[in-house]
Amino acid sequence: MSDSNFIASVDIGSSKIVALLAEFKNNRVEVFGYAEYNSDGVRCGVVENAKKIAKVIKKIKKKIFKD
């Protein structure tokens, strides 16, 4: 994995939080990591508790790099 071609996306929603990791290879985007967890700290599309969201994102990070 080349850091200069690394892509990360995090979608924080009311029902779930999703992270996707990818990189450019041979003029293509190749996904090498994906994880999702139930959302916590978001209600009706509004962030109500940033600390809870951060905890979920940390869990997602551990899951992606564990696999």
Sheet of 28-38, strands arranged across: 6-12, 16-25, 28-38
Summarize pLDDT for 20-66 with one digit per residue, the tens.
999 988 889 999 999 999 999 999 999 999 999 999 999 999 999 88
- Segments forming the whole domain that contains residue 8: 3-66
- Residues forming beta bridges with residue 20, ordered by sequence position: 9, 34
Instruction: Specify the pLDDT at position 67.
Output: 63
Instruction: Specify the pLDDT at position 1.
Output: 52
Q: Say what the pTM is.
A: 0.78
CATH number, domain at 26? 3.30.420.40
Instruction: Specify the pLDDT at position 25.
Output: 87
Please give the tally of structural domains in the chain: 1
Q: What is the dihedral of CA 17, 51, 48, 64, to 10 degrees?
A: 0
